[in-house]
Amino acid sequence: MAEQAEDSIPKGESVSSPDKIEEKPHDLDSSSSDSDSDDEDKLEPSSSSAMDRSFRLFGRQKPVYHVLGGGKSADILLWRNKKISTGVLLVVTVIWILFELLGYHLLTLVSHGLILTLTILFLWSMATTFINKSPPRLPEVSIPEDLALNVALSLRTEVNRGFNILKDIVSGHDLKKFLAVIAGLWILSIIGSSVSFLTLFYIVFVLLHTVPVLYEKYDDKVDFYLEKAMAEIEMHHAVIRAKVVSKSRAVQTKLKKQQ
C-alpha cells in the first residue's frame, strides 16, 4: 500500500505539472499582446501627427493626384498607365529632336505631312477604281460645339485669374510676393536668353513627368526639408525687413531734426 501511495504521488505531480506549464504560455501571450497593443497605441499618435504635418505644408490638404486635377492628365503625369505616359514622352521627344536638333520648321513639317497623307489617300482611291473595290472610308472630323465652348470658357477663366493675380501683385500690399515674382521673371529672362523656347518647353514637360512621381513617392522627406528651408527663408526675410524698417525710421528722424 505504501508503495502504491508513493507511486500515486509522482503520477499526480506529473499530471498536474502540464497544467501549470500550459498556464504559463497563456500568461506570456496575454502579456505580449498587451505590450503589442501598448506599442501600437504609442505609434499611432506619432504617425497621425506626421501625416497632419505633411498635409499642412504649403496648404496641401489633398493627395498629389487631386492637386494635379485628377483624370487622364494626372494619370499620365503620375505614370498610372505606363504605356500612355511612355508614348506621350516619346512623341514629345521626337518633336523636340525634329525641330531643335535637326532644324525642322513647323510649317515645313506640316506641309510635308499633308503632302504624304494626301498622296497616299489619292493613290488609294485611284487604285480602288481599277480593282473594282470600294474606296477608303474617311472619318468625318468635326469639332463639337460644346467642346469649343468649354475650352473658350476655361481659357477666359484662366486669363481673368491671371489678371487678378497681377492686380494683387502690383497693389503694394504684399512685398514678399512682389519680390518673388520679380525674382522668378528675372530667372526666366536669364534662361530664355540662353535656351530656346522649344527646349525650355521640353525641359518643363520632362520635369512634369518626373517631379510629381518622385514627390508622391518621397513626399514625407521632401516636405520635411522644404519646411526647414521655408523656416530659414522666413527668418532671413524677417531680419532684412527689420533692418529696412530701422533704417527708414532713422532717415525719418534725421529729416525731422533737420526741419
CA-to-CA separations, 45 to 60, 113, 165, in angstroms, rounded: 21, 62, 40
d(CA 220, CA 225): 9
Global pTM reads 0.54
C-alpha to C-alpha distances, 191 to 86, 175, 194, 251, nearest whole angstrom: 27, 24, 5, 38
Return the amino acid letter for 148: A
**Quick check: 198 and 103 in contact, CB under 8 A?**
no
Cα distances (Å, whole numbers) of residue 10 to 2, 53, 236 = 13, 65, 83
pLDDT, averaged in runs of 10, over the chain (259 residues): 44 43 43 44 40 47 74 84 91 91 86 92 84 78 88 92 89 84 90 86 90 83 82 87 85 79
